[in-house]
Structure formats: C-alpha cells, structure tokens
Amino acid sequence: MTTPVLALTVGDPVGIGPEITASTLAEFAGSTDHHGIAVGDLVAMRKAVEVLGLDVEVRAVDGWDTEPAGEGVIDVFDIGVLGEDMPQWGTVDGRAGKAALEAIEVATRAAMEQQVAGIVTGPINKEAIWAAGSEHLGHTEMLGELTGVTKQDTMFVVRNDQHGGHHLRIFFATRHMSLRKALDAITVDNQVESIERAYRALQVFGVDEPRLATAAINPHGGENGAFGDEEIEILRPAVERVNEGGKQIAGPIPADSVFHQGLVGRYDGVLSQYHDQGHIAAKTYDFDGTISVTVGLPILRTSVDHGTAFDIAGTGKADHGTMRSAYLAAVDYSPFVEGIREEYLPR
C-alpha cells in the first residue's frame, strides 16, 4: 500500500478523543504519502473543531478510497450513531459508549477487509461501553473478538531522537494483574513463551535480527539470590533455553539499567516482567510520545496510552501529542501490514 489509509477511531465522543483526532488530522491534512480518516460521529468532530478554533473543513466521506482534499480539510467516516444529539462533554453516557463501540467495529472491519492499512484508536471509557451493553474490559479484548484471535500482547514503542531516532519496543510478560499475582504467574515456561513472542514480533514489525533483553525482577538482578531468587530459578533458565535454539537473548538485566540501555540503542526490545515496570520506564522518559501497538492481531493497530480525560473534554486544552505519535507509528508500520496479517490471521 503505497499511500496508506488509516482509520482513526475517536474513542468516547464526549472525551478528548475527538479533539486530539481533529488536531492530528488537521496537522497532516496536506500530506500526500498517507491519508487519515476519522471514524466517529460527524457532530462530535465538528464540535471538536469548534472548541479547538481550527480553521478546517470537516468533510463527511462514505468510503475508504476517497482522495484526500488537501490542507484545510479533515475527513470523517460518519457512523451516524448520535445524529445531532451529542451528550454533554465529560459525562459517562451509554449513547457515547455505543458510538465508541460502533467506531471500533467499523474501523476493524475495514482493516480486516484490507480497505485500510491499519487503525489508530482513541481513548474509550469502560463505564460508557458497559452502559452500552459491552462486556469487554477494553479495546484489546474487543479487537480480539472482532478479529478472531485469543492471544494478544502489548508492545510499547518509545522513540529516542537523541540517538538517531532509535525505537525501543517494550513487551510485557504479565499485564493487568496485581504485582503479587504477576510474580506467581512468571514461570520458566511462560517466560520462554513471552520471549519467543516478543522476538517474533520484532521480526514481524521490521527488525530482521532482533536484539532482545529481559528485565530482572529483583533489585540488582537479585544479587545472586541475596535479594530474591527469581532470576536464578526462572528468568535465567528461560533465557538459556531460548538461546539454545540459536537466538541471542540478553538478561536478565537489572531493571534500573536495561531500559536505559535499550533507549540508547543497545537493544531493540526489552521484555518487562510486570505492568508498571515497563510503563514507568516508558512514560517517565516520554509520556506523550509513548504509544501502544497490539501484537497478535491480524491487523495493524496503534493506540494512545491515556484515558478520556473527562475533566478537560470540550475545553480545547487536550494535548494531541500521543495521538500524533500513534498515527505516525501506524504510518511507519504500514509497510509491514501484509506480514502482520500473514503471521497472526487465525487459520
């Protein structure tokens, strides 16, 4: 796909999603090498443009092959859920939740049918989608059902412009569970599986010979058992088992060092052992620039990694930096869409 078309779901229409989507699309409206189309209600996008004071036209489109209109125009695939009756900014509303769900379904269907190169998702509100009848915990579970896959991984992408634009990818051995449960869930077999999936994901997303490191759990990597034995009994045996197959995985490396080493270019990816270990490292370095890629889906999906910010929705104060980064990451990864589909499409 020489000129990738990307579908940007606005998320909850009464959160900051329409504003950050409008700001991003307005910035790149004159681009000729990629075309972003917002997926949501036309009324929400028009109100977002109004509160932002953007000098742009909001154009409704009914297909994905529409030619970009150029500077000063942003395109919206109108899902028509809200009509002209938009709920109040910053409120939990089942109608807004329904609109968010419909946008995700429309964009995902377009990606599965290869009408768009990928999707970029704005923030949703869990209470709102539950009020609309969804039983999903969030985007990832919903996208899994829509694409027919049951196993997905999160890949954070952090760009370090001070080192030639090096991209560090952060993977997670465990995700949404308490720290105590996460530690119990880390076994040799599970660690081997996490390493193998992260290594393969790096290849699918364009790194031919990945340099992957695993983060330690305990301070100083456990100090040979003085501060914990997970490195001795679980992490190191897992790395050794993988390396016996011909790969060169590093680690476990103390967590207070490995993410910095990755950022300066020593590694292409780091396997974080639990949620906050990787999140803190990435977001402390670049909160607005850190974006999330869902690995394991047969479609390209990048996402902001923040919420709906109901407290500032509709004020024009929202920073679109993360949506901008997620959009540009989708542009960067669009050449790998065929490989992503081939690797992860259920058979």
- CA geometry: angle at 100 spanning 148 and 88, to 5°? 165
Residues forming a β-bridge with 6: 36, 118
Query: What's the mean per-residue pLDDT of the chain?
Result: 92
pLDDT tens digits, 230-285? 999 999 999 999 999 889 999 899 999 999 999 999 999 999 999 999 999 998 98
Exposure of 60 in the CB half-sphere (CA atoms within 13 A): 10
Q: Please state, in angstroms and rounded to a whole number, the distance separating the CA atoms of residues 34 and 121.
A: 17
Confidence of residue 110 (pLDDT cuts 50, 70, 90): very high
- The predicted pLDDT at position 186 comes to 95
Question: Which pLDDT score, from 0 to 100, does residue 182 have?
Answer: 93
Class of domain 5-149+296-344 as given by CATH: alpha beta
Q: What is the pTM of this model?
A: 0.89
What pLDDT is recorded for position 327?
A: 94
Higher pLDDT, 106 or 150: 106
The more confidently predicted of residues 140 and 299 is 299
Specify the CATH architecture of the domain 153-281.
Answer: 3-Layer(aba) Sandwich (3.40)
- The domain locations on the chain are 5-149+296-344, 153-281
Q: How far is CA 267 from the centre of its chain?
A: 20
CB-CB neighbours of 219 under 10 Å: 13
Q: Using the predicted structure, report yes or no on whether residue 347 has a pLDDT greater than 90.
A: no
Give the residue-averaged pLDDT of 32-36. Answer: 91
Q: Is residue 166's pLDDT more than 80? A: no
Q: Name the burial class of residue 121, with classes exposed (0-12), middle (13-18) and buried (19+) by CB atoms within 10 angstroms of its CB.
A: buried
pLDDT at 2 over 90: no
Domains 5-149+296-344 and 153-281 alike in fold: yes
